[in-house]
Amino acid sequence: MSTPGTTATPGPAGFARRLRERERLVGYWIACDNPAGTERIAGLGYDYVGVDGQHGVMHQPGWQTAMLAIDSRGRSAGLIRVPSADPVAIGVALDTGARGVVVPMVDTADQALTAVRACRHHPAGTRSLAGPVRGELRLGSVPAEIDDETACIVMIETAAALENLEAICATPGLDAVYVGPADLSAALGARYFGDPSAAGDLEAALKRVTAAAARRGIACGIHCLDGQSAAVRLSEGFTFATVSSDITHLQQIAAAHLAAANAA
């Protein structure tokens, strides 16, 4: 999934480098606190598996277990979406051994810089060396080497983020921007995600985001409803895309089997 024309998955090591080099990456989203399910997903060959610590039921105690489940398969890089740009939350997420964080609701370059610095040790940032109990097992103990293996991704999903897009993309040390299309469409006036009356505005905004990221040479990702949508977005200039989520697919598949059984 890493590059066009190949099927081999390089594994979690080097994920941050591949992201920075703008390789094509495909990921999956975990919303359920279900380690056995997460482990199954992590063995499928996705380049990364994102764990949602902002929404859903995945709170901090579950982050560690999710990273253990992902790492047990040795195929996907584990990422955590933290609740905000709070350096404490970012530090906790990275200390679980996550290969990077996704930071939501970033409106300004200052907030983006706060997130970046929380991912880096002195002198580049503010991350503490005191407690990477599990992170050290995955990434070593040399601060510069840990920083090189850690990805900082901030989300573009508000009107303010669009207004400050160029400055956010120019944030020193930022590895990628990531579009949350549901929140972004709401910020653009959509009554609900998928509202056709706002579709044109959303598509125009997405073009702005991919162009700004390309100008600054950073990766650009987006969350998608399905694999087909991910393929389209990757063809449009996004360098990484996340496919749906475990809780969405659980409901879709269960409903489809129920319908099939009742039809019989």
CATH number of 15-263: 3.20.20.60
Whether 258 has a pLDDT exceeding 60, the answer reads yes
Whether 9 has a pLDDT exceeding 70, the answer reads no
Q: Which has more confidence, 138 or 146?
A: 146
Known catalytic residues are 55
Whether 132 has a pLDDT exceeding 80, the answer reads no
Which residue from 57, 48, 39 is spatially nearest to 101, judged by alpha carbons?
48
Which residue from 182, 124, 129 is spatially nearest to 152, judged by alpha carbons?
124
| pLDDT (0 to 100) of residue 198 | 86
Coil, strand, or helix at residue 28? Answer: strand
Which residue from 112, 41, 49 is spatially nearest to 81, judged by alpha carbons?
49
| pLDDT (0 to 100) of residue 102 | 98
CB atoms within 10 A of CB 74: 12
Lowest mean pLDDT among 22-26, 126-130, 187-191, 207-211: 126-130
| pLDDT (0 to 100) of residue 12 | 87
pLDDT tens digits, residue range 100-131?
A: 999 999 999 999 999 999 999 999 999 988 55
Lowest mean pLDDT among 25-29, 91-95, 109-113, 174-178: 91-95
| pLDDT (0 to 100) of residue 261 | 97
Summary mean pLDDT of the chain: 93
Locate 170 and state its tokens.
Answer: 């120019």
pTM for this model (two decimals): 0.93
Whether 220 has a pLDDT exceeding 80, the answer reads yes
Lowest mean pLDDT among 38-47, 140-149, 177-186, 223-232: 140-149
| pLDDT (0 to 100) of residue 3 | 46
Domain boundaries, the chain: 15-263
